Amino acid sequence: MSVPPENSPAPAAAPEPAPAPPSGPPSAEEKQWALFAHLSALIGAIFTGFFFGFGCFIGPLIIWLIKKDTMPFVDDQGKEAVNFNITLAIVAAVLMILTIMTLGLGALIAIPVGIIVGIGWLILTIIAAIKASEGVAYRYPVSLRLIK
């Protein structure tokens, strides 16, 4: 009988495979967290101010980061909410830069466009929240796919 030397490395444990996504519809808990992912953008915008509401993507980002590994539906809808809200934060930043670079003259364009974008953001966020609560994977019509 041979005894292994003391300096030999122990065999590495095999990594556990990732859980397979459920083939059925999302659970009630997944629907609820997906709803929270979409609605948290509204809360972020309220707390950071609507015009300078760059905080609108922080709530969806936090929920997505916490739940992405355990809930596939929340992973999908959280990414969707984060991408859409980052896209609109970029639009808001461009409008603000336009206003600053033109010494306020760009506000003639930025304010009406900002109001239209803001109303569209509110409507699309509410639609996405309703669809998520129904268990339907919603896709925003205008969104940069930054997180895949």
Q: Return d(Cα 90, Cα 94) in angstroms, integer.
A: 6
Query: Using CB atoms within 10 A of its CB, is residue 38 exposed (0-12), middle (13-18) or buried (19+)?
Result: buried
Tokens for 42? 């509204």
pTM for the complete prediction? 0.78
H-helix segments, the chain:
28-48, 58-67, 72-101, 107-133
- What is the residue extent of each domain of the chain? 28-131
pLDDT by position in tens, the chain (length 148): 555 556 655 555 555 544 444 457 999 999 999 999 999 998 888 887 655 567 788 889 999 999 999 999 999 999 999 999 999 989 988 999 999 999 989 999 999 999 999 999 999 999 999 999 999 999 999 898 888 8
Q: Return d(Cα 2, Cα 13) in angstroms, integer.
A: 23
